[in-house]
Homo-oligomer: A and B are copies of this chain.
């Protein structure tokens, strides 16, 4: 297996992530991904024997990249800056119009997904809540850090969905601004 940045596996994951963020897990097929990376669908099956394998690999990569970027963006930040960096990172999902957070999409569709994918998505959200909870606690910004962390994650995820549905990205920006004001400004 090559480590080249454009290795087939990575390109398949890229194509899958872009599409699932827009249309959901069940709307994306192996053939569609194969076409997108100019291979045959048998090659996709070679790398991901079952669709659930692709789903798990995708969420795992998303999870890792998210926290790597979060760490990089908050190296010497105050608690308030950390929370703003978190909201800014969530927003990147909207850059491809109509797309939302990968895990927001899969979380909504949980009831119809393979169990291993559901577990991976749950792990992403638990890590999100733990991270924000630690920041709130560190900054003494909340009297109930875990509840407020959960609310912040829920609000930002809901704002992504609503922005996509209403086709108005400013919905997210205005929501994030008011969350900051109410919860930790």
Interface contacts beyond A27-B109, A27-B112: sample of 11 additional A-B pairs, CB < 8 Å, sorted by A: A24-B24, A24-B25, A26-B26, A107-B165, A109-B109, A125-B165, A148-B178, A154-B175, A155-B175, A157-B161, A161-B161
In A130-164, the 8 Å CB interface with B consists of 144, 147-148, 150-151, 153-159, 161-162, 164
Nearest CB of chain B from residue A144's CB, rounded to whole Å? 8
| Size band of the interface chain A makes with B | 35 or more
Q: Which of B98, B106, B121 is A110 in contact with, Cβ under 8 Å?
A: B98
Cα of A171 to Cα of B153 in the assembled complex, Å = 11
Nearest neighbor of A155 in chain B, beta-carbon distance: B155
A137 and B123 CA atoms in complex are apart in Å by: 39
Contact assessment for B174 and A150 in the assembled complex, using a CB-CB cutoff below 8 Å: yes
Main secondary structure of the interface of A (DSSP, over half): helix
Q: Is A53 an interface residue (CB 8 A)?
A: no
Does B99 lie within 8 Å of A111, measured CB to CB?
A: yes
CB distance from A26 to the nearest CB of B (A): 4
Distance in Å from the Cβ of A56 to the closest Cβ of chain B?
15
A126 to B154, CA, bound (A): 20
What string of 1s and 0s marks CB contacts (under 8 Å) between A81-120 and chain B?
0000000000000000011100111111111100000100
